[in-house]
Structure 1
Amino acid sequence: MSKEQVNNPLHGLTLEKILVALVEHYGWAQLANVIRVNCFKNDPSVKSSLKFLRKTPWARAEVEQLYLKTFQ
């Protein structure tokens, strides 16, 4: 295991698992209120959201931070 991952609480979690857990917990509407991105507001789906989050580092960081605040 590399030293970078020793204290990483997201190690072993995929972005898809993180997103699905947040959607199950908050629902799309509440998630769109917490993190203001259009892919959560307009016709949301896991597939389209993952595509956006993988291309947009700031949005991915917000999703990861929300996951940590919610589930830890």
Structure 2
Amino acid sequence: MNGAKDPLHGLTLEAIVTELVAYFGWAELGQRIDIKCFRIDPSVASSLKFLRKTPWARAKVESLYLFMRREQARADRPSA
């Protein structure tokens, strides 16, 4: 099955945005991905509305999410 290899499989866009906000905060998220819905009066609802209509922005959000997960995994590994 292809879904098993896709790290985003089973995740909603809302879950991805919510985790990114919890990890980075709106200010840093707006710096990392320069879209208005992250910088001006940000909310999960307005972000979802924009991201669902804008494939390039959604791709950036998904890419940043995967980066965040790699960073979390690296931080969770015990140092030798």
Q: Shorter-chain TM-score: which interval?
A: over 0.9
**Per-residue displacement from partner, 1:7-42 (whole Å, max 9, x unpaired)?**
111001000000000000000000000000000011
Instruction: Specify the code of the residue in structure 1 equivalent to 2:43.
Output: S
TM-score (norm: length of structure 1) = 0.93
TM-score (norm: length of structure 2) = 0.84
- Structure 1 stretches of at least 4 aligned residues deviating more than 6 Å after TM superposition: none
Gap runs ≥5 in structure 2 = 71-80
- Show the counterpart of 2:53: 55
**What is the Cα-based RMSD across aligned positions, in Å?**
0.8
Gap runs ≥5 in structure 1 = none
